[in-house]
Copies of this chain bind each other. A is one copy, B any other.
Amino acid sequence: MFMQIVDEKRVFGGRQIRFEHNSNTLNCTMQFSVFLPPQAESQEVPALYWLSGLTCTDENFSSKAGAQRVAASLGIALVIPDTSPRGEGVQDDPDGAYDFGLGAGFYVNATQSPWSEHYHMYDYIVEELPSLVEAELPINDKRALSGHSMGGHGALVIGLRNSELYTSISAFSPIVNPTQCPWGEKAFSHYLGNNRNDWEAYDAVCLLNQKQGKNVPPIKVDQGDADNFLEEQLKTDNLIEACKANSVAADIQYQAGYDHSYYFISTFIEQHLRFHAQNLL
């Protein structure tokens, strides 16, 4: 457990800090960002963990979502990991595609060579990262989880599989049914192998059906109806149907005219933070 500050900025009276540490889980050096609200100067605060989408690092959400304003007023920390293992020794997609390999860890524990050497983002998010920030920073163990696109998939899957660890989960434009879309099929076949039964533990729609709606934390999802990825990759209707079939009262909204960008996230992040605050604070 050792981490060092590589950058720090003041924002909205709090501290936006970028850390570097050697991850045992991922077997490489990782960077992540944390926003500590002003309240963290005198007490431990709860945290929203934010999982970013394809091609992102911890910097996209930090600089573009405008989340610090509301987090500062509510007294909630933001913990923002990278989206895959990193570094020279970490295998990337041989073709350099944006949707697999570096920047595209899909929040799974890879079982297939060579990916299994580093790609354990599931364990990193569930175990190593919270243990680290709760030990080293004024952050308590009340956790909420959110994310965008691939990170929305990660937030739903991790929150559904670990409902005792998160008081609520939310997502923007999530890949809700990755076993049934090209992004998921490509990533899962490489990371997890060709047995599709093994993929279901990382698919929010499959998990909702497996759980039959039991022990599901409060869920909030926003999806732009002008999102180019909606029909082929995101398939929000499949999540709506799974919630309905399993009597899960999730708040899933289509937002008219919004696309897949951070402009969409910035517009609705306040509502998500206030949703999580109901149970975090």
**Interfacial residues, chain A to chain B (CB-CB below 8 A):** 9-13, 16, 63-64, 66, 68-69, 224, 226, 257-259, 261-264, 266-267
- Return the chain B residue nearest A63 by Cβ: B64
How close is A37's CB to chain B, nearest CB, in angstroms?
A: 13
- Return the chain B residue nearest A60 by Cβ: B63
**Copies assembled:** 2
Bound: A264/B10 CA distance, A: 7
Q: Are A259 and B10 in contact (CB under 8 A)?
A: yes
How close is A93's CB to chain B, nearest CB, in angstroms?
A: 27
Q: Are B10 and A69 in contact (CB under 8 A)?
A: no
A226 neighbours in B (Cβ, 8 Å): 10
Known: A64-B64, A66-B66, A69-B66. A9 touches B266 (CB 8 A): no
Bound: A10/B11 CA distance, A: 25
A9 neighbours in B (Cβ, 8 Å): 259, 261, 263-264
Residue contacts A-B, CB under 8 angstroms, 20 given: A9-B259, A9-B261, A9-B263, A10-B224, A10-B226, A10-B257, A10-B258, A10-B259, A10-B263, A11-B263, A11-B264, A11-B267, A12-B266, A12-B267, A13-B267, A63-B63, A63-B64, A64-B64, A68-B263, A69-B267
Q: Are A266 and B11 in contact (CB under 8 A)?
A: yes
How close is A59's CB to chain B, nearest CB, in angstroms?
A: 11
Bound: A12/B265 CA distance, A: 10
A224 neighbours in B (Cβ, 8 Å): 10
Q: What 6 A-B pairs are tightest by C-beta distance, nearest first? A: A66-B66, A11-B263, A10-B257, A9-B263, A10-B258, A12-B267
Of the residues B13, B69, B257, B267, contact of A266 by C-beta under 8 Å = B69
Known: A10-B257, A64-B63, A257-B10. A263 touches B69 (CB 8 A): no
- Return the chain B residue nearest A10 by Cβ: B257
Bound: A128/B141 CA distance, A: 56
A63 neighbours in B (Cβ, 8 Å): 63-64, 262-263
A264 neighbours in B (Cβ, 8 Å): 9-11
Bound: A267/B266 CA distance, A: 15
Q: Are A263 and B64 in contact (CB under 8 A)?
A: no
A10 neighbours in B (Cβ, 8 Å): 224, 226, 257-259, 263-264, 267
How close is A274's CB to chain B, nearest CB, in angstroms?
A: 14
Q: Are A263 and B66 in contact (CB under 8 A)?
A: no
A69 neighbours in B (Cβ, 8 Å): 66, 266-267
Bound: A248/B138 CA distance, A: 45
How close is A19's CB to chain B, nearest CB, in angstroms?
A: 16
